Structure 1
């Protein structure tokens, strides 16, 4: 749901009633990941997507019905071999979807709208926050919500069990720190459990969807060249906060890089020393000059970032490695370097080269090979887990 936070925050500010359908879990091949959402307001306006088109119509009608009845529901959609034209995912997967009404005047929601509105507001402003919502088990009613921030107390309640709220808040904060969205199962001593809730050693289980919203990951492009201008566009397309850095003020100008979030004039290694980067950060070194590259890469390869790539020919790469070894880098640290940067696409133009770099960044993040899918027998979604049963239980 937080993927459409900006629009939903406006709906809340306007006092509009709406229902939101959120992907809770996926099993097998599915087009959207947990947290993806579709929302429908009282006038029938729809935003977002839960399936890329496979089941949008059916989910739209469920949202309309939920908004009218005021009831939250959990539905599963999958592919049927007996009727390939039935509502389902033709890609062969199964998705569990939570549909929750969010109505301005609803005393029965236990303050859920207030909590949801606060979460949407935080996400729309780019603040780090995690939203935990009941999707099953021995907690409160479906859709009850808890908002967790990196620091400070949590907001809302899952149904009145203070110990459960504290436990979920701690687990959700850990998921937020890791930038993870997915289902969470915790034990609870609740006396009464909904039909079908599984027994655990702790008594019952509570199943929740935790959605994490964090500021966008950083991409820093070093080297204000024409290839950098194309790479900025690819970085923005992939959802990065993109900075261009170069020591030459005549080249590093906002006019040359209008789509960049920042353009910095500084020596690359000196600028990097001032930055705090997390494990999602991406560093692309396009300076192609040893006096810039070596001191920069000496630092970059020792940072806990997701990707470090450097442009240059194979001869340049070998010379660069020798210089970095002389600077004291280990073979393990050098193995983190993607150089020559990008996938083998036969790229020639700056735009084609930027596409190859973006492809390598995605492949590195998701565990892909970069090989054509045609004729391959590898998974399409490399980060997909082993098929599971409903709400993450073993199939």
Structure 2
């Protein structure tokens, strides 16, 4: 059973889900669970395995779900006496640990051209879950993106409209043209995502935003978009532009300053 639990946890992590592993590390006295018992708790509230059942397991599952929400590991300790918090009569005491496995950060690239390819390479280097979306079949192939986790072909706006975005999602809009970028942005602006960026000149961005506001989109939601995209570090070469975009994503992901490290760390000679 333990191997089955660990395999399911690994599978869920690869799919980009949050997962918690519960382990009983100490059992003193009578208890429905034994030291070393493990249980997988998943963000959809399903579980695999058991640490003994009853109110103990119910409370620990809720604690694991809370731990996943805030992204922190935690310990737990319960008395199983009648006058304890769990109102159980086993008479023992248990201690355990909840290990939270954070979901992999997901890089969603709308556009499989040269820039999309360079972004994909950087995303895989950073061990991100990568999704490539394009409306051209030849640009979303396994030959072009051999390690992509998802390859989606079709109308980019429609795909993104139905694609789940959350606080682990980093979306980069770099389609083959202005209309594709605008369609992708229309489908995602205002939705919950850690980062949404769109390529384009300042003039193009202003024009796109004004048109989308006329269509009813909120100005403040549009101003949250990272566009023009990336940090100002490239010469204009696609690979360097991609690096500037990933640098901006890391700045957002890690809540960094974007400053030179020599400005952050004082050197005393």
Assess same fold via TM > 0.5.
yes
Report what 1:371 is aligned to.
259
Tell me the CA shift for residue 376 of structure 1: 0.9
Show the counterpart of 1:111.
Answer: none
Structure 2 spans left out of the alignment, 5+ residues:
88-92
Q: Distance in 2 between matches of 1:249 and 1:202?
A: 57
Match of 1:10 in 2: none
Q: Distance in 2 between matches of 1:345 and 1:143?
A: 51
Aligned to 2:49: 155
Structure 1 segments unaligned to the other structure (5+ residues): 1-113, 192-199, 379-395
Higher helix share: 2
Q: Is 2:212 the partner of 1:319? A: no
Conserved? CA contact 1:219–1:241, under 8 Å: yes
In structure 2, do the counterparts of structure 1 residues 301 and 220 end up closer, same or farther at CA, with 3 Å as the change threshold? same
**TM-score where L is the length of structure 1:** 0.55
Quote the residue 2:90 is aligned against.
none
Contact 1:298 1:327 in 2 (8 A): no
In 2, Cα distance between equivalents of 1:318 and 1:288: 19
Displacement after TM superposition at 1:332 (Å): 2.2
Shift of residue 315, structure 1, vs aligned partner? 2.0
Match in the other structure for 1:182: 73
1:238 offset after TM fit, Å?
2.6
Structure 1 residues 371, 165: closer, same or farther in 2, change over 3 A? same
Q: 1:224 to 1:152 in 2, by over 3 A?
A: closer
CA drift at 1:252? 4.2
Note if contact 1:241-1:261 (Cα within 8 Å) is conserved in structure 2: yes
Matching of residues 214-363 of structure 1 within 5 Å:
214=103, 216-287=104-175, 289-363=177-251
Query: What secondary structure is seen at the aligned counterpart in 1 of 2:167?
Result: coil
In 1, Cα distance between equivalents of 2:265 and 2:94: 37
TM-score, normalising length from structure 2? 0.77
Aligned CA RMSD, in angstroms, stands at 3.3
1:146 to partner: Cα distance: 3.0
